[in-house]
């Protein structure tokens, strides 16, 4: 198993395009439990010259597990703003696992404030617990948006998610 991984890392260092056939099979080679970590290691092994192109390709052709692995790795990779189109694409999906993965530390650091607020609101809207996201930045404007959301829910006689209640309670 780890033999497979060391051989994969060696191949990627020698020929970055090798990651195209290695990245998708990680789960079958290393097991479901280790897959996310191993995929992060494979991405980290990409040389800087090939990084942006391969990361974009792995996302473009990836299944949801691969896409989540790319999104989760962005903050640890020296990609600059090159990962932002992937984050924006993931945020447009209706797959809760992709939306949650897109809103990690990379989005927190690099997404423009308006898009970031919309993304957090979308999570709440989709029923993704904010605890799954990790650190969430709530400024005055986002708090106002969450308050409107809570008001709309209450008016419809529907429950307001607990994490939104907590955020809004902190505002007083």
Partner 1 sequence: MRIFDPHVHMSSRTTDDYQAMYDAGVRAVVEPAFWQGQPRTSVGSFVDYFDSLLGWEPFRAAQFGIRHHCTIALNPKEANDPRCADVLEVLPRYLVKDGVVAVGEVGYDSMTPEEDEAFAAQLALAVEFELPVLVHTPHRDKAEGTKRTLDVVRESGIAPELVVVDHLNELTVGMVADSGCWMGFSIYPDTKMDEARMVVLLREHGTARMLVNSAADWGRSDPLKTVKTGRAMLDAGFTADDVDRVLWRNPVEFYGRSGRLELSDVDIDPTAGFQGSSVRRGQG
Residues that bind partner 1 (CB under 8 A): 20-21, 24-25, 27-28, 60-61, 63-65, 67, 93-98, 122, 125-127, 149, 152-153, 158
Report, in Å, the least distance between residue 80 CB and partner 1: 25
Report, in Å, the least distance between residue 4 CB and partner 1: 14
CB of 75 or CB of 97, closer to partner 1: 97
* 3-state SS, one letter per residue, for the chain: CHHHHHHHHHHHHHCHHHHHHHHHHHHHHHCHHHHHHHHHHHHHCCCHHHHHHHHHHHHHCCCHHHHHHHHHHHHHCCCHHHHHHHHHHHHHCCCHHHHHHHCCHHHHHHCCHHHHHHHHHHHHHHCCCHHHCCCCCCCHHHHHHHHHHHHHHHHCCCCCCHHHHHHHHCCC
Report, in Å, the least distance between residue 166 CB and partner 1: 18
Report, in Å, the least distance between residue 114 CB and partner 1: 19
CB of 65 or CB of 110, closer to partner 1: 65
CB of 110 or CB of 115, closer to partner 1: 115
CB of 18 or CB of 110, closer to partner 1: 18
């Amino acid at each position: 198993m780890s033999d497979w991984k060391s051989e994969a890392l060696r191949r990627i260092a020698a020929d970055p395009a090798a990651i195209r056939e290695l990245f998708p099979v990680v789960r079958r080679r290393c097991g479901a439990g280790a897959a996310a970590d191993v995929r992060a290691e494979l991405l980290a092994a990409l040389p800087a010259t090939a990084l942006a192109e391969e990361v974009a390709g792995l996302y473009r052709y990836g299944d949801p597990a691969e896409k989540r692995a790319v999104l989760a790795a962005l903050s640890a990779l020296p990609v600059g703003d090159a990962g932002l189109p992937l984050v924006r694409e993931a945020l447009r999906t209706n797959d809760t696992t992709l939306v949650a993965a897109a809103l990690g530390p990379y989005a927190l650091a690099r997404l423009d404030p308006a898009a970031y607020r919309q993304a957090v609101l979308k999570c709440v809207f989709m029923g993704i617990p904010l605890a799954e996201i990790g650190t969430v930045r709530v400024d005055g404007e986002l708090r106002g948006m969450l308050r409107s959301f809570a008001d709309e829910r209450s008016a419809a006689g529907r429950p307001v998610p607990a994490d939104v209640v907590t955020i809004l309670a902190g505002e007083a």
